[in-house]
């Protein structure tokens, strides 16, 4: 991919990872991703903002062939998909210094073994003048690591936001051309790694919204030349508001729990509650995470396996607990053969959810008329609580 100009003296050096399908050996990437580095050239100094995942260093290396000098490598985030090629850049440009915050420096020393003397620490709000290009550093802790920061190019009003506001999307487009596609990818990314830090996200949004942003240049996905929609989306996703929606992930071994899940769905829909239903055996967990961004309620469906929840339900509960959705209500449905301790075990897996637990519906064997009546009662309880949201 060639170097592309965003503004006079500001270039995008994007490396597109078309075929990557998993991040952190965990997160599905149906649309691939990109790692974006940026070059900012002043009349006196040249800065490279972020680098690239090490397996794709050769792409960035080729883009840098015509770049004779780099004075500063700005590291906004220590995670290796952005920082991992910094040692290669430092070897190529022996005079370059790494500009970052103290916390990030310590992490880069631990993760990449970069020599301490190569660093120059920058404080929150500090500026450096490259010669007609002024870079201001904005600490953005917990989006999604504690050391993350952004960089504000004052003259061009460009915010380099690193993971914040980014999207895992492989594309040859420089700027967003399909807002719906980008929004889905960005929401997936928000759900999977940002949502656990919703309150710091709110604070960081307030911080960047004080700027008159013309362009958001993230370190994944296309650049936002009309940033209003992604900023509004982040405000919505990270707000305290929840929607009249139920997320219903389930797994079923012989069909009993599935019958219960569909009965609950029908009863909720009859009460005008929107339902996102997922069979955990086949679902994309990214879709499940996306649905948890807005929903007011989570109901997990599971059969009993050796008195506990099915391992797939165990995984879903673990995931929900880790990504900390803002659901206000939660419950459990499912069946068992001869004995179960599923309710207390699942409750113990969700300590991070600040949710009211609604009466679970657990039946022995196949659901009976009484089970369906209890599912109706659960649907009624959910609809009643959603009505007062
Ligand atoms: Fe794209 Fe947190 O790294």
Q: Ligand 1 centroid vs 345 CA: distance in angstroms?
A: 33
Q: 186 with 290, same domain? A: no
Compute the distance between CA of residue 292 and CA of residue 315 in angstroms, rounded to an integer: 15
Domain check: are 228 and 208 in the same one?
A: yes
**Ligand 1 centroid distance, CA of 355 (Å):** 29
Pair (233, 297) in one structural domain: no
| Domain identity same for 287 and 152 | no
Residue 53 Cβ inside 6 Å of ligand 1? The answer reads no
Helix (H, G, I), strand (E, B) or coil at 277: strand
> Are 188 and 297 in the same domain?
no
53 with 172, same domain?
A: yes
> How many whole angstroms separate alpha carbon 289 and alpha carbon 68?
44
How many helices (DSSP H) and strands (DSSP E) are in the chain? Answer: 12, 22
CA of 192 to the centre of ligand 1 (A): 11
- Helix 228-238, helix 198-209: angle, nearest 10: 150
Q: How many domains does the chain have?
A: 2
Please tell me whether residues 209 and 257 are part of one structural domain: no
Q: Long-range contacts made by residues 132-138, C-beta under 8 angstroms, separation at least 24? A: 132/9, 132/42, 132/43, 133/9, 133/10, 133/40, 133/41, 133/42, 135/40, 135/47, 135/74, 137/74, 137/99, 137/101, 138/207, 138/208
Pair 25, 100 in one domain: yes
223 with 255, same domain: the answer is no
From 237, 253, 286, the end of a domain falls on: 237
What is the rounded CA–CA span in Å between residue 31 and residue 20?
A: 8
Q: What's the 24 CA to ligand 1 centre distance in angstroms?
A: 10
Radius of gyration for the chain, computed over Cα atoms and rounded to the nearest angstrom: 24
Say what the pLDDT of residue 28 is: 87
Distance 81 CA to ligand 1 centre (A): 6
Q: Which residue from 122, 223, 209, 229 is spatially nearest to 172, judged by alpha carbons?
A: 223
* pLDDT score for 239: 97
What is the bridge-based pairing of β-strands 329-336 and 295-301?
parallel
Going by C-alpha positions, the residue among 88, 118, 89 that lies closest to residue 104 is 118
163 Cβ inside 6 Å of ligand 1: yes
201 shares a domain with 118 = yes
Q: Are strands 46-49 and 356-357 parallel, antiparallel or unpaired?
A: unpaired
Burial 327-361 (b: 16+ CB within 10 A, else e): bbbbbbbbbbeeebebbebbeebbeebebeebebb
d(CA 196, CA 310): 25
Domain boundary residue among 237, 259, 283?
A: 237
Based on the fold, state whether residues 73 and 201 are members of the same structural domain.
Answer: yes
Contacts of 13 (CB under 8 A, 6+ apart): 3, 36, 37, 38, 39, 48, 60, 63, 64
CATH of the domain at 248: 3.40.50.360
Q: Which domain holds residue 190?
A: 4-237
Closest residue by Cα to residue 196 from 142, 138, 147: 142
Q: Interior CA angle at 144 toward 244 and 167, to 5°?
A: 70
CATH value at residue 229: 3.60.15.10
Closest CA to 10 of 39, 36, 35, 37: 39
This prediction's pTM: 0.95
**Which of 206, 237, 268 lies at the terminal end of a domain, its last residue?**
237
Which residue has the least CA distance to atom 2 on ligand 1? 79
Closest alpha carbon to 155 in 5, 69, 41, 50: 41
Residues 13 and 139 in one domain: yes
Look at the block and give the residue holding tokens 């420089």. Answer: 174
What count of other Cβ atoms lies within 10 Å of the Cβ of residue 309?
27
């050769």: which residue's tokens? Answer: 58
Query: What is d(CA 167, CA 364) in angstroms, rounded to the nearest whole number?
Result: 44
Q: 189 and 218 in contact (C-beta within 8 Å)?
A: no
CB 81 less than 6 A from any atom of ligand 1 = yes
Consecutive 10-residue runs of the chain (389 residues): their mean pLDDT? 94 95 85 96 98 97 96 98 98 98 98 98 98 98 97 98 97 96 96 95 97 98 97 98 98 98 98 98 95 98 96 96 97 97 95 95 98 98 97
Q: Note the pLDDT of residue 25.
A: 79
């Amino acid at each position: 991919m060639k170097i592309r100009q965003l503004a006079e003296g500001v270039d995008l050096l994007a490396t597109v990872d078309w075929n990557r399908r998993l991040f952190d050996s965990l997160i599905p990437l149906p649309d691939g991703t990109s790692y974006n580095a940026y070059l900012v050239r002043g009349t006196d100094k040249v800065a490279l903002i972020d680098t690239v995942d090490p397996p794709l260093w050769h792409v960035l290396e080729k883009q840098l062939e015509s770049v004779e000098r780099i004075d500063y490598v700005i590291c906004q985030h220590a995670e290796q998909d952005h920082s991992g090629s910094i040692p290669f850049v430092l070897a190529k440009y022996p005079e370059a210094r790494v500009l970052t915050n103290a916390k990030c420096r310590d992490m880069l020393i631990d993760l990449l073994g970069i020599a301490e003397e190569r660093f120059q620490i920058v404080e929150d709000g500090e500026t450096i003048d490259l010669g007609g290009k002024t870079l201001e550093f904005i600490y953005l802790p917990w989006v999604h690591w504690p050391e993350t920061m952004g960089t504000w190019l004052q003259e061009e009003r460009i915010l380099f936001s690193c993971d914040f506001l980014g999207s895992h999307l492989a594309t040859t487009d420089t700027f967003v051309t399909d807002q719906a596609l980008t929004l889905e990818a960005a929401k997936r990314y928000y759900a999977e790694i940002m949502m656990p830090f919703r309150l710091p996200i709110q604070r960081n949004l307030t911080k960047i919204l004080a700027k008159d942003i013309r362009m958001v240049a993230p370190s994944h996905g296309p650049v936002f030349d009309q940033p209003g929609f992604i900023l509004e989306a982040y405000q919505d996703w990270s707000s305290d508001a929840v929607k009249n929606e139920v997320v219903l992930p389930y797994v079923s071994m012989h069909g009993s729990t599935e019958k219960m899940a569909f009965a609950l769905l029908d009863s909720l829909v009859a009460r005008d509650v929107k339902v996102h239903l997922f069979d955990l055996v086949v679902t994309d967990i990214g879709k499940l995470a996306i649905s948890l961004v807005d929903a007011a309620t989570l109901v997990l469906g599971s059969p009993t396996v050796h008195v506990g929840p099915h391992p797939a339900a165990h995984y879903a509960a673990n995931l929900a607990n880790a990504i900390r959705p803002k659901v206000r209500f939660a419950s459990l449905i499912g069946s068992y053969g001869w004995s179960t301790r599923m309710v207390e075990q699942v409750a113990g897996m969700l300590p991070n959810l600040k949710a009211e637990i609604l009466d679970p519906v657990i039946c022995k064997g196949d659901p009976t008329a009484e089970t369906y009546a209890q599912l109706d009662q659960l649907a009624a309880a959910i609809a009643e609580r959603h009505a007062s949201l």
